[in-house]
Amino acid sequence: MNIAVCVKHIPDPNLPGELDGQRLKREGVQGTLDPGDEFGVETALQLKQAHEGEVTLVSMGPPQALEGIRRGLSMGADKGVLVSDDSLQGADALITARVLAAAIKRTDFDLVIAGVESTDGYTGTMPSTLAELLGVPQLTFTNAIEATGDALKVHRQTVDGYQVVECSLPALITVTAGVNEPRYASFKGIMAAKKKPVEELSVADLGLSADDVKVAQNIVDISQAEERKAGEVIEDDGSGAAKIADYLKEAKVI
Amino acid sequence: MAKIWVFAEVNNGKVDTAALEILTKARELGGEVEAVALGPGSTDAAKELGQYGATSVYASDDEVYADYVAQPAAHALHELVKEHAPELILFATNYDSRDIAGRLSARTGSTLMSNCFDILGTDKARTTIFGGATVVDVALEGTPKIALVRPKSFEPEASGGEANVMPVEVDIPDDLKKAKRVERHEEQASGPKLEEAPIVISGGRGLQDASNFELLDQLAGAIGNAAVGATRAVVDAGWVPYAYQIGQTGTTVKPGVYIAFGISGATQHIVGMKGAKTIIAVNKDEDAPIFQIADLGIVGDALKILPQLIEEIKTRKG
């Protein structure tokens, strides 16, 4: 089973976000592989263990996004593809899907895996747009995955439970955080990752035109939200519970 | 007049409340408001959609839309778009809608904006970034524009209209019948539903162990009319089912009172609860971001305060 895993290098989500003009500041910001993508990489590695094949990491981003790919390679993925191009700055979900679809079509894939949504942009629509462009079904929000040679059976989260969904391959799935325990990269894995092949491509290499990557969303205004003011913060000296009860009484809850 | 469409999910014969919220907003935009509903119960749902402002409802009761994930609905919607040329299509940020909207965007080649909490016109919508601290207005180009709107962004209000039902008869090719739903499981929570409860009590990592969620249930029981929620971190850790999750992914809540125990206040969580009228937070870390939005913050151990609070409330209620 050959698997393509979509990975994204994002500004460290533990650091406060910053704007650079109208875009999320990425340059000079400490970056990391999107923590949500580690679950996708782990899912792919487990499927590879059971069904053989090759795991290819596919990413779109600035040159430093190579670090994110290296991280996935050090976990055990076989190779990477990075699409990097100045014309992709500010790309929306549709453009990202077009680029990833073009890159994935060059590989011989049975399954595409992505996170449910990126931690920085969190649109959550890129995977289903990608599935449509690849002409395959998508199983989103999966938290249990069972694969046979040519079919999948997954649990898909819903608002009040889950559904069991079956489909044949090729297909695309998105995995939720917590679907597995992503492995740590070993020292050996990190050393090996440095020698694994990573193909670097431009928009033109993929056969996409300037129109294909033209952004159709433009920020016209940025403002500060009306802030909720921080209220009273007190140290619990044993009276914390009573203080909360007073508040609940005031709010006419009790 | 520009056509504005609202895609309405209908599950078990019930119209998704978010669709009614979005219809209410769509009426203000000064276009011709219509709805699309696909799957069993859709024709019957047209009446309610009409009451909230849809002048026409394109409806099909075909099981194919419920049996197979996203592909048949995206196909039918695309056929309807080609025929009727709406200017703007609004979806609620729900599981199935998100998938269908994403596939539609690929087919129409038009941009899709996610996480909108306000629609400013047929070509402009508003979202927030950095956990709601910064508001961003975005102009959309191309036709149709597609936007996903977060539930609870608007108050639903009926206008008392009546919709024409326009039966949808689109042939779904067999190669779009691939991802088949074979089982459905629903988890029944006791007490009020999370998104409707006037009081929400929620827990995060600071509760240290899954078994301590029992304390939140006890507190909810003592207060009454309260629902229990959780952060993504503890849902991911498997402490409680996904149905509990409040946040960017998960449920958006706007209760009168929100009490957070052992929750630090990650962006992912804040987005789903900052609309609460009163926020009370208990956390050991005085620098926890949750304190920046809490009306009352207690720096302390949630596991120590919870039993005391349960007793206190029982005593006060007599």
Yes or no: say if B312 and A249 are a contact pair by the CB < 8 Å rule.
Answer: no
Yes or no: say if A174 and A138 are a contact pair by the CB < 8 Å rule.
Answer: yes
Q: Does A163 touch chain B (CB under 8 A)?
A: yes
Decide if B3-176 and B199-317 have a common fold. yes
Tokens of B225: 């009319």
Distance (Å, whole) CA A180 – CA A196: 25
Listed residue (B184, B70, B238) closest to A162, CA to CA: B184
How many separate domains does chain A show?
Answer: 1
Tell me whether strands A161-168 and A151-158 are parallel, antiparallel or unpaired.
antiparallel
User: Can you give the pLDDT at residue B11?
Assistant: 92
Q: In this structure, is residue A92 part of a structural domain?
A: yes
Yes or no: say if B273 and B261 are a contact pair by the CB < 8 Å rule.
Answer: no
DSSP string, A96-132: HHHHHHHHHHTS--SEEEEESS-TTT----HHHHHHH
Within 8 A of B94 by CB-CB distance, chain A residues are 159
Bridge partners for A19 per DSSP? A24
> Percent of chain A scored above 70 by pLDDT?
100
Q: Does A164 touch chain B (CB under 8 A)?
A: yes
Q: In this structure, is residue A86 part of a structural domain?
A: yes
Q: What is the dihedral of CA B250, A72, A79, A191, to 10 degrees?
A: 180
Listed residue (B185, B99, B180, B66) closest to A166, CA to CA: B180
Query: How would you label A124-139 residue by residue, b for 16+ Cβ within 10 Å and e otherwise?
Result: bbbbbbbbbbbebbbb
Within 8 A of B300 by CB-CB distance, chain A residues are 235-236, 240
Per-residue pLDDT band for A111 (boundaries 50, 70, 90) equals: very high
For residue A132, what is the domain's CATH number? 3.40.50.620
3-class SS of residue A177: coil
Tokens 């994110």 locate to: A68
Half-sphere exposure of B270 (CA within 13 A, CB side): 19
Residues 51-90 of B with CB under 8 A from A: 69-71, 74
Within 8 A of B309 by CB-CB distance, chain A residues are 241, 244-245
User: Can you give the pLDDT at residue A133?
Assistant: 98
Listed residue (B7, B41, B37) closest to B23, CA to CA: B7
* Mean of all residue pLDDT scores within chain A: 93
Q: Does A244 touch chain B (CB under 8 A)?
A: yes
Listed residue (B285, B276, B300) closest to B309, CA to CA: B300
Q: In this structure, is residue A75 part of a structural domain?
A: yes
User: Can you give the pLDDT at residue B189?
Assistant: 67
Q: Which residue has the higher pLDDT, A102 or B242?
A: A102
Assigned superfamily of B199-317: TPP-binding domain (3.40.50.1220)
Tokens of A26: 């990425």
Among partner residues B106, B133, B278, which is closest to A133 by beta-carbon distance? B106
pLDDT tens per residue across span A33-83: 998 999 999 999 999 999 999 999 999 999 999 999 999 999 999 999 999
ipTM of the complex: 0.94
Nearest CA in chain A to B143: A216
Q: Does B236 touch chain A (CB under 8 A)?
A: yes
Nearest CA in chain A to B100: A128
3-class SS of residue A236: coil
Quickly count: other Cβ atoms within 10 Å of residue B48's Cβ: 21
User: Can you give the pLDDT at residue A160?
Assistant: 79
Of A18-32, B117-131, B293-307, which range is least confident?
Answer: A18-32
Q: In this structure, is residue A247 part of a structural domain?
A: no
Q: Does A178 touch chain B (CB under 8 A)?
A: yes
Tokens of A61: 């981003």
Query: How would you label A82-118 residue by residue, b for 16+ Cβ within 10 Å and e otherwise?
Result: bbbbebbeebbbbbbbbbbbbbbebbebbbbbbbbbb
Quickly count: other Cβ atoms within 10 Å of residue A6's Cβ: 26
CA distances from A21 to A90, A219, B125, B264 (A): 11, 10, 19, 29
Q: In this structure, is residue A246 part of a structural domain?
A: no
Residues 133-162 of A with CB under 8 A from B: 133, 136-141, 143, 156-162
3-class SS of residue B74: helix
Distance in Å, alpha carbon of B95 to nearest chain A alpha carbon: 7
Among partner residues A94, A122, A222, which is closest to B111 by beta-carbon distance? A94
Within 8 A of A126 by CB-CB distance, chain B residues are 102
Instruction: Please report, for chain B, the start and end positions of each structural domain, with discontinuous segments joined by +.
Output: 3-176, 199-317
Q: Does A106 touch chain B (CB under 8 A)?
A: no
Per-residue pLDDT band for B249 (boundaries 50, 70, 90) equals: confident
DSSP annotation of B292 reads G
* Mean of all residue pLDDT scores within chain B: 94
User: Can you give the pLDDT at residue B63?
Assistant: 97
Q: Which residue has the higher pLDDT, A35 or A110?
A: A110
pTM for the model stands at 0.93
Tokens 């304190």 locate to: B291
The average pLDDT across B128-144 equals 89
Substitution target in B96, B99, B143, B312 with the highest count of A β-carbons within 10 Å is: B99
Amino acid identity at B173: P
- List the alpha helices (DSSP H) in chain B: 17-28, 42-51, 64-67, 71-84, 95-108, 213-223, 232-236, 267-270, 302-317
Nearest CA in chain B to A39: B236
Residues 143-202 of B with CB under 8 A from A: 148, 178-187, 198-199
User: Can you give the pLDDT at residue A177?
Assistant: 83
Architecture of domain B3-176: 3-Layer(aba) Sandwich (3.40)
Bridge partners for A175 per DSSP? A115, A142
Tokens 């491509």 locate to: A201
Give the domain extent around A145: 3-213
Distance in Å, alpha carbon of A47 to nearest chain B alpha carbon: 19
3-class SS of residue A37: helix
The average pLDDT across A86-94 equals 95
The average pLDDT across A92-116 equals 97
Distance (Å, whole) CA B228 – CA B258: 10
Q: Does B37 touch chain A (CB under 8 A)?
A: no
